[in-house]
Amino acid sequence: MGENTKKHAIRAAAFAAALFTITACGSGGAQNTAGLAVQSPATPPADPSDMGSPSAGVGADDIKKAGEAALAAVEGTVTGLDSDNGVWKVTVIGADGAESKVRVDAMTWKVVGTPSAEADDEAEKAKHKARAEAAKTTYTDAAEKVAAEYPDGKITELSLDRDNGTVVWEADVSAADGTKAKVKINADDGSVVSPSAEPESTG
């Protein structure tokens, strides 16, 4: 074999060895990268504390929605709202003192069924009318006052009544700690008359 032939053979062998080394390293790098991808830690589960808290309860906004739905069905003045199994029973007093009951779904805010008129005599109508006209504070204003007293509570009833000759809005509230409370709002000037806790009934 000639000298030039030997040199070409040696160069070819060196080139082949270098090419093999590069290929092997590249393949190993890919394998290492794949291995790292498999071993990467999974995304940690979300912290329940970051998922938000449930609604505090039924406040002034829900009272307003129920009243507005009732007034869209019967013209007059809202004088009472009572929550019962997902339905608000709203009392509306007409211009002549006639009392109507309107049922409003607490999820859809639509009137359920047909509003019903109470069979009151003229004396009762006069009382209803006088009480409604004496209330310068509306049911929505009263609900906001109650919600301010118990921001984490749930208003279950709000009604216009007389207390020792004074027309008041009286609210029943279930507080966040499970206790019951009554809040009275002066219907003339909107002042809070008497927030008071009620003991739980043991009977």
Q: Give pLDDT, residue 39.
A: 43
Interval 164-188: pLDDT, tens? 889 999 999 998 888 999 999 999 9
Q: Distance between CA 20 and CA 90 in Å, rounded?
A: 87
Domain 60-198: CATH class, spelled out: alpha beta
Query: What is the percentage of the chain residues whose pLDDT exceeds 70?
Result: 67
Q: Does position 200 have pLDDT exceeding 70, yes or no?
A: no
Tell me the pLDDT band of 152, cut-offs 50, 70 and 90: confident
Interval 55-108: pLDDT, tens? 335 689 999 999 999 999 999 999 999 999 999 999 999 999 999 999 999 999
Q: Give pLDDT, residue 177.
A: 85
Name residue 61's amino acid.
Answer: D
Q: Does position 128 have pLDDT exceeding 90, yes or no?
A: yes
Share the mean pLDDT of the chain: 78
Tell me how far CA of residue 65 lies from CA of 53, 90, 116, 184, 196, in angstroms.
23, 11, 20, 21, 26
Tell me how far CA of residue 99 lies from CA of 66, 105, 182, in angstroms.
17, 20, 24
Mean pLDDT of 12-40: 45
Name residue 77's amino acid.
Answer: T
Which of 100, 128, 83 is closest to 91 using CA atoms? 100
User: Where in the chain are the domains?
Assistant: 1-40, 60-198
Q: Does position 201 have pLDDT exceeding 70, yes or no?
A: no
| HEC assignment per residue over the chain | CCHHHHHHHHHHHHHHHHHHHHHHHHHHHHHHHHHHHHHCCCCCCCCHHHCCCCCCCCCHHHHHHHHHHHHHHCCCEEEEEEEECCEEEEEEECCCCCEEEEEEECCCCCEEEEEEECCCCHHHHHHHHHHHHHCCCCHHHHHHHHHHHCCCCEEEEEEEEEECCEEEEEEEEECCCCCEEEEEEECCCCCECCCEEECCCCC
